[in-house]
């Protein structure tokens, strides 16, 4: 049997002893031919780091936050990552007198790989677009700062509670909480998270992705492809002057006296040869490609015509290779891209895309 600290466990070991704190402990049911059984899983940490464990068998005395001496455990790789395992031979001895300060370690993730579900990770990128707002917690006023973080795969919104973060240069954020809100991946920084300045170069602008590679609802990306269908309700819409919500009738139900103004909304499917995705867009993103001027929508002498606007959008988009920048979001219909800019593919775009495609074959 070998005695190890967590950071020394890097490979598969048959018989290992360690003293560690149980940081989390959950249970799961397993259905097999032999019937139903329960196993436990969670995180173990010591002064050197944190590792996940799976317990086919665990002493009922062991609870979260206990410091435990563990003998006859073993380690194996699961999904190419090392994990500690306990079985019926593993021995547990509680160490209530031991105080242990756990060194938290988090997996480094690229933004495009931030899956759904709550987890803590390390991110590296450059922050921009600082916004500050106040909120009240238990009667106490506190500040929250929000940013957009870019790395070389995409971008994500990030909130920092009570702490201003450095912008414009590389940072490594350790212990960032990832969760999903409103169909988008969000990140937040609590008090325990660490912020380090690092050297980092990132090309500005949205990052190219093939539709087949889209997995998580992140921002800061662009796709290229042809529209293969356009929603028949695309085109001219009316919005309430007060709440700006889309109205189907002449009046907003909540603000019947407010009146309305015209706006543009379009939705269409785009195919890039690897798959297709639904794209939604507003006036700002398509006004240039469709040649629709804002004053056309507010011209009271000649109000815009629904059919005419639809046809102009259709004529501008269909049959053309497009570059679409925006943010992904997930809803009951699947993933969709909210466009921030829709433009025609130009010579420079084709040159850039050629470089991207050829780099794969080098």
Partner 1 sequence: MREGKREPARWIFSKELRETTVVEENTESEKIRSMFLTPLGSNGRRIFFVGNVTNQREDEKSIRLTVSDPTGAFYLSFFERDFNQNVKRQLEKIELNQNVAVMGRVSHYTGEDGKILFNINPELIHETDTESMNFWNMRTAYLCRRRIIGSKEALKKADISQSVLTASGLTEDEAEGILKSIKAYPNYDYTKFEEVLTSLLFNQQISQNINIAKDGIIEFLSSGVDPQGIKYEEIVSELLKKGVSQNEVDEALNVLGREGDVFEVSLKRYRKI
Quick one: angle between helices 283-290 and 306-317, nearest 10?
Answer: 70
Among residues 237, 321, 248, 243, the alpha carbon closest in space to that of 281 is found at 237
Q: Is 318 in the site for partner 1 (CB under 8 A)?
A: yes
Min CB(348)–partner 1 separation in Å: 9
Cα 261 to Cα 75: distance, rounded to the nearest angstrom: 64
Pattern of binders to partner 1 over 255-274, x per CB under 8 A? Answer: --------------x-xxxx
Residue list 211-250, contact with partner 1 (CB under 8 A): 211-212, 214, 224, 226, 228-229
Asked if 152 interacts with partner 1 (CB under 8 A), we say no
User: Measuring CA to CA, which residue among 266, 231, 230, 260 is closest to residue 248?
Assistant: 260
Residue 362 sits in the site that holds partner 1 (CB under 8 A) = no
Question: Residue 319 CB, nearest distance to partner 1 (Å)?
Answer: 3
> Per rule CB under 8 A, is residue 291 in the interface with partner 1?
no
How many CB atoms are closer than 10 A to CB 356?
11
* Beta strand ranges found along 59-198 (DSSP E): 67-78, 81-86, 91-94, 107-108, 119-137, 140-151, 154-161, 170-181, 184-189, 194-197
- Min separation Cβ 229 and partner 1, Å: 7
By CB under 8 A, what part of segment 60-119 binds partner 1?
Answer: none
Query: Closest distance between partner 1 and the C-beta of residue 358, in Å?
Result: 8
Closer by beta carbon to partner 1, 167 or else 321: 321
Q: Which is nearer to partner 1, 86 or 268 (CB)?
A: 268
CA distance 110 to 48: 24
- Other C-beta atoms closer than 10 Å to the C-beta of 346 total 11
> Binding partner 1 by CB under 8 A: which of 321, 340, 341, 343?
321
Pattern 328-357, partner 1, x by CB under 8 A: -----xxx--------xxxx-xxx-xx--x
Q: Which residues contact 301 (CB under 8 A, 6 or more apart)?
A: none
Count of other CB atoms within 10 angstroms of residue 137:
10
Distances 31 to 28, 53, 145, 210, 272 between C-alpha atoms, Å:
10, 20, 46, 38, 41
We find the least distance from the C-beta atom of residue 328 to partner 1, in angstroms, to be 10
Closest approach, Cβ 179 to partner 1, in A, equals: 22
Adjacent-strand bridge partners of 222: 208, 325
- Residue 307 touching partner 1 (CB under 8 A): no
Q: Footprint of partner 1 on this chain (CB under 8 A)?
A: 211-212, 214, 224, 226, 228-229, 269, 271-278, 318-321, 333-335, 344-347, 349-351, 353-354, 357, 360-361
């Amino acid at each position: 049997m070998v005695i190890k600290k967590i950071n020394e466990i890097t490979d598969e070991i048959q018989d290992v002893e360690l003293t560690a704190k149980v940081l989390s402990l959950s249970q799961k049911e397993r259905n097999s031919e032999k019937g139903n059984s329960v196993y436990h899983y969670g995180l173990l940490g010591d002064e050197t780091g944190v590792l996940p464990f799976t317990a086919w068998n665990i002493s009922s005395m062991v609870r979260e936050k206990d410091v435990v001496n563990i003998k006859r455990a073993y380690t194996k790789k699961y999904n190419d990552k090392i994990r500690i395992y306990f079985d019926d031979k593993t021995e547990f001895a509680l160490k209530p007198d031991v105080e242990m300060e756990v060194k938290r370690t988090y997996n480094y993730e690229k933004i495009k790989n931030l899956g759904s579900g709550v987890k803590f990770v390390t991110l590296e990128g450059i922050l921009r677009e600082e916004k500050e707002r106040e909120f009240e917690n238990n009667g106490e006023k506190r500040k929250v700062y929000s940013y957009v973080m870019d790395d070389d795969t995409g971008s994500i919104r990030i909130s920092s509670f009570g702490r201003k973060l450095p912008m414009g240069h590389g940072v490594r954020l350790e212990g960032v909480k990832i969760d999903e809100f409103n169909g988008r991946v969000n990140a937040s920084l609590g008090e325990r998270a660490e912020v380090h300045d690092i050297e980092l170069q990132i090309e500005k602008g949205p990052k190219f992705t093939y539709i087949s590679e889209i997995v998580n609802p992140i921002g800061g990306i662009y796709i290229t492809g042809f529209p293969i269908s356009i929603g028949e309700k695309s085109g001219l819409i009316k919005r309430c002057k007060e709440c700006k919500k889309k109205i189907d009738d002449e009046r907003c139900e909540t603000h019947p006296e407010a009146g309305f103004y015209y706006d543009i909304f379009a939705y269409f499917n785009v195919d890039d040869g690897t798959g297709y995705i639904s794209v939604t867009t507003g006036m700002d993103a398509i006004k240039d490609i469709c040649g629709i001027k804002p004053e056309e929508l507010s011209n009271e002498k000649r109000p815009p015509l629904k059919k005419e606007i639809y046809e102009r959008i259709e004529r501008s988009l269909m049959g053309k290779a497009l570059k679409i920048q925006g943010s992904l979001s997930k809803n009951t219909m699947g993933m969709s891209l909210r466009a921030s800019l829709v433009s025609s593919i130009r010579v420079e775009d084709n040159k850039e895309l050629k470089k991207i495609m050829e780099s794969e074959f080098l």
